[in-house]
Structure 1
Amino acid sequence: MLSVLLITFPFFALVLCGYLAAWRGVLPQAAIPGLNAFVLYFALPCMLYRFGASTPIAQLLDPAVAGVYLVCALAMVGIVVALTRSTRIGWNDAAFGALVAAFPNTGFMGVPLLVALLGAQAAGPAIVTLVVDMVVTSSLCIALSRLDGAGTHGVGVALRQALRGVAANPMPWAIALGALASALQWRLPGPVDKTIAMLADAASPVALFTIGAVLARSQMNEHERVPAIDYVPLALAKLTAHPLLVWAAGTAAIALGVPLTPFALTALVLLAALPSASNVSLLAEKFGAHNGRVARIILVSTALAFLSFSAVVALLLD
């Protein structure tokens, strides 16, 4: 366990640094959107492009990985919506509660963390799951969130908005270009490759620092009291039920003859054990959901993941 903590500690320590910097005012709140923009539009796309370009195309188009992960994501969404939707929690809040319970922080945290733990070959499964969550899971939950006002804000409108959001996100395009470069065995000119490499190297530390700053900002700006029962169970479900579901589904798939390798299953379980994606808070705010609840789920899952994720790593890699 100690050897695992030695690997995971720096990743979570950078999140804590960003949190404390924003909380203490060392990093002004006005600077956080700039950090987000740098990570989202420059550093992270370059990192994803490099991993995509260096990963065999077969791993990036692995239907077994995509299928098992998608089934589990859909199951998580369905279970959480069914258990949480009530007269007090409508479709909007139930849908975004489901999204925050099913969408791990793969882009900002998962890709670099899994590569550090498992090697560069872990980038393939991580990229596949990131595409599934950005394109399918997010779009589905956004569509479900509109069912409260289906007469005025229809599901079709919500789906179009979600797909426009995917098209405007540079990460899927970076993955697609990386996959194309991998398929064609294409290499960038030296100076361009070096520039992309420098931006890619900045992605992990800046992204982790930014996660902490975003979490601190959400806490500082949210003064409404939220009952613990509304967010703690979902944070725990993200860290426990999600990886258990992926492990069970993957094990069953292998037993049924699905060509899912044990290595890919390990990567999928570790990805599912990550804390909730921080960008769900931005989506919840955009679509009028209870952002205080979503932000607390992200915060609690991130804080607890230091030990829970390390424990999952120790169990799987011993």
Structure 2
Amino acid sequence: MLQIFVITFPFFALVLCGYLAARWRMLPLEAIPGLNGFVLFFALPCMLYRFGASTPIGQLLDIGVLVTWMISALIGVAFTVAFSLKARLGWNDASFGALVAVFPNSGFMGVPLMVALLGAQSAGPVILTMVIDMLVTTSLCIALSRLGGADEHGAAKAFKSAIKGVLANPLPWAIMLGALVSVMGWAPPGPVTQTLGLLADAASPVALFTIGAVLARAQMLASAGHARSPALRDYLPLALFKLFVHPLLVWLVGSALIRLGLPLSRFVLAVMVLTAALPSASNVSLLAERLGADNGRIARIILLSTAAAFFTFSLAVALMV
């Protein structure tokens, strides 16, 4: 366990640094969107491009990962939406609660952390799960979030919003470009490769630092009365679902499909379970705010799952590796 903490500690320590920097006003809150923009549009796409270009195409198109992750996500979304609707939350809040409960922080945290723990061969499955969550799970939850609207054209608008969000997201494009380079055997000129490498190397530390700053900002806004403070029962169950039920669900679905003959190795299943054990994706908060959901609730789920994941994720690694 101590060896696991040695690997995971720097990742969570960077999140804490960003959190404290924002809380202590060493980092102006107005600068956080700029950090987000740098990570989302420059550093992280370069890192994912590099992984996509260096990962065998078979790992990026693994049918076992695709089926297992999609089934787990659909079950998780159905369960958490039903739970939230039963708690008298509307479709908008229920849908984004479901998204934050099944969408791990695989981009900002998952890829570098898994590579550090399990080696470069773990990058392919993590990247594929991230693509599924960005293209399928997010689009599904956006569509569900519009069901509570009175506008009779809500479904059409939801579909257009989902498509527009997917097309505007640079991360899937970076992965696909890297995969294309891998298949075609192309190589950018040396100076271009070095520039991409510098940006890619900056992705992990800046992204982790930014996660902490975003979480601190959400908490500070809630404390100042600029955002509603949700009841504990509205966010604690979903944080627990993310950290405990989601990885267990992936393990159960994957194990059942392996017994049914699905081509899925135990190593890849372990990578998927550990990916599911990551805290909630911080970008869900930005999406929830844009579409009018209770962002204070979403931010609490992300904050709680990120803080607790230092211990729960390390425990998951000890059990799976």
- TM-score, structure 1 length as denominator? 0.98
The aligned counterpart of 2:278 is 274
One-letter amino acid of the counterpart of residue 95, structure 1: S
Provide the secondary structure at the position in 1 that maps to 2:286. Answer: helix
TM-fit CA distance, 1:150 = 4.8
Distance 1:87 1:314 in 2: 35
The aligned counterpart of 1:287 is 291
TM-fit CA distance, 1:152 = 4.5
The aligned counterpart of 2:245 is 241
What is the CA deviation profile of residues 67-123 of structure 1, one whole-angstrom value per residue up to 9, with x for unaligned ones?
100110111000001111037301111001000001000000001000100111111
What is the CA deviation profile of residues 191-211 of structure 1, one whole-angstrom value per residue up to 9, with x for unaligned ones?
110110110000000000000
Distance 2:147 2:10 in 1: 42
**Number of residue-to-residue matches in the alignment:** 317
The aligned counterpart of 1:211 is 211
Is it true that 1:254 corresponds to 2:258 in the alignment?
A: yes
One-letter amino acid of the counterpart of residue 244, structure 1: L
Task: Report runs of 4+ in structure 1 exceeding 2 Å deviation.
Answer: 150-153
The aligned counterpart of 1:192 is 192
Please list, as runs of the form range in 1=range in 2, the aligned pairs for 1:165-176 lying within 5 A after superposition. Answer: 165-176=165-176
One-letter amino acid of the counterpart of residue 277, structure 1: A
Structure 2 residue ranges without an equivalent (≥5) = none
The aligned counterpart of 1:135 is 135
Provide the secondary structure at the position in 2 that maps to 1:148. Answer: coil
**Could you tell which deviates more after superposition, 154-163 or 126-135?**
154-163
Distance 1:160 1:230 in 2: 29
Provide the secondary structure at the position in 2 that maps to 1:259. Answer: coil
One-letter amino acid of the counterpart of residue 303, structure 2: L
Distance 2:78 2:175 in 1: 28
Distance 2:116 2:152 in 1: 47
The aligned counterpart of 2:22 is 22
Distance 1:261 1:187 in 2: 31
Please list, as runs of the form range in 1=range in 2, the aligned pairs for 1:29-48 lying within 5 A after superposition. Answer: 29-48=29-48
One-letter amino acid of the counterpart of residue 274, structure 1: L
**Could you tell which deviates more after superposition, 304-313 or 248-257?**
248-257
Distance 1:111 1:117 in 2: 10
Distance 2:74 2:250 in 1: 11
The aligned counterpart of 2:202 is 202
Is it true that 1:84 corresponds to 2:88 in the alignment?
A: no
One-letter amino acid of the counterpart of residue 98, structure 2: A
Please list, as runs of the form range in 1=range in 2, the aligned pairs for 1:4-15 lying within 5 A after superposition. Answer: 4-15=4-15
Provide the secondary structure at the position in 2 that maps to 1:275. Answer: coil
Distance 1:130 1:286 in 2: 21
What is the CA deviation profile of residues 24-68 of structure 1, one whole-angstrom value per residue up to 9, with x for unaligned ones?
000001111110011000000000000000000011111111110
Distance 1:186 1:287 in 2: 40
Distance 2:121 2:150 in 1: 44
1:93 touches 1:290 (CA, 8 Å); kept in 2?
A: yes
TM-fit CA distance, 1:187 = 1.3
2:229 touches 2:297 (CA, 8 Å); kept in 1?
A: no
The aligned counterpart of 1:93 is 93
Cα separation, partners in 2 of 1:309 and 1:235, compared to 1, 3 Å: same
1:146 touches 1:153 (CA, 8 Å); kept in 2?
A: no
What is the CA deviation profile of residues 158-211 of structure 1, one whole-angstrom value per residue up to 9, with x for unaligned ones?
121111111011101100000101111211111110110110000000000000
Provide the secondary structure at the position in 2 that maps to 1:26. Answer: coil
Cα separation, partners in 2 of 1:150 and 1:61, compared to 1, 3 Å: farther
TM-fit CA distance, 1:225 = 2.5
Alignment equivalent of 1:315, drawn from 311, 315, 319: 319
Identity among equivalent positions (%) equals: 66
The aligned counterpart of 1:124 is 124
Structure 1 residue ranges without an equivalent (≥5) = none
**Could you tell which deviates more after superposition, 206-215 or 181-190?**
181-190
Alignment equivalent of 1:228, drawn from 226, 232, 250: 232
One-letter amino acid of the counterpart of residue 126, structure 2: A
Alignment equivalent of 1:297, drawn from 296, 301, 308: 301
- TM-score, structure 2 length as denominator? 0.97
Cα separation, partners in 2 of 1:21 and 1:116, compared to 1, 3 Å: same
